[in-house]
Copies of this chain bind each other. A is one copy, B any other.
Amino acid sequence: MRERLSGIDRPTIVDVAKVADVSRQTVSRVLSDHPRVAPATRRRVEEAIENLGYRPNRMARALVTRTSLTFGFAAVDMRNSHFGDTCSGMQSAAREHGYYLVVTELDFDDDRGMGTLETLLTLGVDGVAFFPSFFADKEIELFAATSGCPVVMIGREAKIPNVVSIAMDEDRAADLVVGHLVDTGKRRIGILMNEMFPEVVHGRFVALQRAVTERTEVGNPPVEAGHPKIQQGRNATKKLLTKHPDVDAVIGFNDTMAMGALLACHDLGLRVPEDVAVVGYDGISFGAITNPPLTTIVQDSIGMADAAFKALLAAVQNGTPPDGEVVSWQPELLTRGST
């Protein structure tokens, strides 16, 4: 037997069979809880498994069953709380159902990430869930068509064949945010946009623009863009407030940018929320400790993760790929000191 590079070889089903003095097939039956195995035989096999420290090789199993009980998950940055929460949520859901989650990060600089999703496929996952970030709808459609497994997209509301889309209701979120700002007396609202992923940003941007136009007297809101990070949010806010000194409220694409806005206001000697109100999106836990604490749109990451897993599971169990279904999720406004 060729040895693994690492030295020690793990026992195989044959080793177990030999020790238990049965055929491989019987061992296989014990492993899969097949009913028709004599109790005594079963015991012998289980003992052998225990003694040898045997663990079935899931790759070999998947090769023949064409099912790995594994789903893939991908996002650009697991440390981003919304992505991370969703990832954790899917891990839990998967575990509960005897599934396993293979997680990988998408790299914008690399191959724009599509190759990473492909690699996930070659690893034999039964389905894929991911945050589309910088992918175009067309790319996703092509991927889904050739993937040979169910595909779930989280965070963008788009009707794509063979893809289930799970996303927050951006219109509702925008109405909540803008409505709240207007209710608290704000009249000139600026927006901090994410320049990194135009595709995903689009829905949120359009919704915000509509809500601002509808609910305030000034037409199109002033916009600055930057990467969705604290420092970039800070810089973008400074530019925004310098160009438009009448702005009395800033909406950040996400909480991180909004945190930057908080810092920018401090830099410029503006009081929050008296001079400028600040709102973010996501509801990350660190929003509670900023000064003042951040008002934000909370997405139900866990609920969405659960829905994503269920969609994948249903598709696998029914043997039918998903069909352009869109699952809409309701946002909530968490009001804190920054507004």
Contact = CB atoms under 8 A, between A and B. Distances in A.
Interface string A253-288: 000000100110000000000000000000001101
Q: Is the interface of A mostly helix, strand, loop or mixed?
A: mixed
A77 B320 CA distance: 33
A101 B73 CA distance: 12
Which residue of A3, A5, A53, A81 has the most chain B CB atoms within 10 A of its CB atom?
A: A5
Nearest to A291: B291
A58 B118 CA distance: 11
B88 A77 contact: yes
A234 to B, nearest CB: 10
B123 A58 contact: yes
Please indicate which of the listed interface residues A2, A6, A55, A56 has the most CB atoms of chain B within 10 Å of its own CB. A6
A87 interface: yes
A316 B70 CA distance: 25
A79 B70 contact: no
Contacts of A53: 146
A91 to B, nearest CB: 5
Taking residues whose C-beta sits less than 8 angstroms from the other chain, chain A's interface range is 35 or more
Interface in A173-195: none
Nearest to A68: B59
A4 B149 contact: yes
A97 interface: no
A59 B66 contact: no
Contacts of A84: 78-79, 84
A335 interface: no
A223 interface: no
A150 B8 CA distance: 10
A140 to B, nearest CB: 15
Given A6-B315, A10-B148, A100-B119, 4 more contacts: A10-B121, A59-B68, A79-B85, A95-B110
9 contacts: A4-B66, A57-B122, A59-B124, A79-B85, A92-B107, A95-B110, A262-B289, A263-B289, A290-B290
